[in-house]
Amino acid sequence: MTRTILMASAALACLAGTGVADTSDKRIALSNNYAGNSWRQAMLESWAKVTGQAVTDGVVAAADAFTTAENQATEQAAQIQNMILQGYDAIVVNAASPTALNGAIKEACDVGIVVVSFDGIVDEPCAWRVAVDFEAMGKSQLDYLKTALPDGGNLLEIRGLAGVFVDDAISAGIHAGVAENPQFKIAGSVHGDWAQDVAQKAVAGILPSLPEIAGVVTQGGDGYGAAQAFAAAGRPMPIIIMGNRQDELKWWKEQKDANGYTTMSVSIAPGVSTLAFWVAQQILDGKDVPKDLTVPFLRIDQDTLEANLETTPEGGVANVEYSQEDAIQVIEAAR
């Protein structure tokens, strides 16, 4: 009887993907390159909430988060080297560059540290990557606009942080969508740094030189700022693609109720940091994890606006946080 129970327990453990090693004494660090907008703040809050509980539950010994003062790859590389010296067992990285951190990451791998990158991923072969298809996210905006604006028109592109992989990838997807839909033309482009105040100032600066704009393609954290700039300039309000921030969703709901304004909203969920944490924990636990894992982006449409706005905290971002079980499912789906 006892042997039967033990065999059943072992089978359940195998199905749960709990691995073969105990991680209760393992220490995981988060290396984050930037915290200057609501998405990054929500990402850090999700990390603290989920990993804090994991530490309390004894799943890991520590899950410390560190953010560089400036969005500089050299500073983040030094931060990672310091984590190596501190003896962390795994480092989860939101990277300032897909390539510039490779030397520091290889140093970590060479001494047996697990490195998992997410959002801003890295291409060092020894690291794991938890990625959203950012090009597809950019292209999805044109898939929406070609239906919402069948006659096309001029577009304003608001980009993110210059030089960051995510910015380049989303922009590439937007431009690919425009190439497939020549009824649209990108009439101007500015960097909004994924922040509403920066985006508002940048859009206000370029608007006087632009023709009538039918749509604004974005990267997240910039839609509300763009709307404020158009309103202040007395320009007709275009369809502005939103990025799941609460102030954007609130403005959209107000316009929807007032005049039937329609758009869509899309972004990566800030809680992807928690998925990266659990992936690192699973690797430390002996799980055989593919190097590349893909998670879906979070999209909000006209009919799901109210439900998402209701669950998004003021000043926050529509979010999904991940459990250990979610991570196991993502890992299994990648096989």
* pTM for the predicted model, two decimal places: 0.83
78 domain-assigned: yes
Same domain, 102 and 250: no
Same domain, 128 and 40: yes
Sites in the chain below the pLDDT cut of 70: 1-21
42 domain-assigned: yes
251 domain-assigned: yes
- Rounded to whole angstroms, how far apart are CA atoms 156 and 276? 33
Angle at 99 (CA atoms; ends 267, 72), nearest 5 degrees: 75
Same domain, 139 and 244: yes
Same domain, 243 and 256: yes
Same domain, 128 and 249: no
pLDDT, position 12: 35
Same domain, 128 and 275: yes
The region, left, alpha or beta by phi > 0 then psi within -120 to 50, assigned to residue 287 is beta
pLDDT, position 21: 67
Strand intervals (E) in 87-212: 90-94, 114-118, 128-131, 153-159, 184-191
HSE on the CB side for 267, CA within 13 Å?
A: 32
Contacts of 333 (CB under 8 A, 6+ apart): none
50 domain-assigned: yes
Same domain, 250 and 297: no
161 domain-assigned: yes
pLDDT, position 269: 94
Alpha helices in 1-159 (DSSP H): 2-16, 38-56, 73-86, 102-110, 134-148
Same domain, 48 and 170: no
Same domain, 263 and 274: no
The first and second tokens of residue 44, run together, are 């850090």
In which domain, by residue range, is 152 found?
134-267
pLDDT, position 214: 98
Same domain, 88 and 190: no
Render pLDDT for 119-148 as a digit per residue (tens, 0 to 9).
999 999 999 999 989 999 999 999 999 999
Here the CATH number for the domain that contains residue 54 is 3.40.50.2300
pLDDT, position 101: 97
312 domain-assigned: no
Render pLDDT for 164-186 as a digit per residue (tens, 0 to 9).
888 999 999 999 999 999 999 99
Same domain, 80 and 115: yes
Residue 4, amino acid: T
How many domains is the chain built from? 2
Same domain, 124 and 238: no
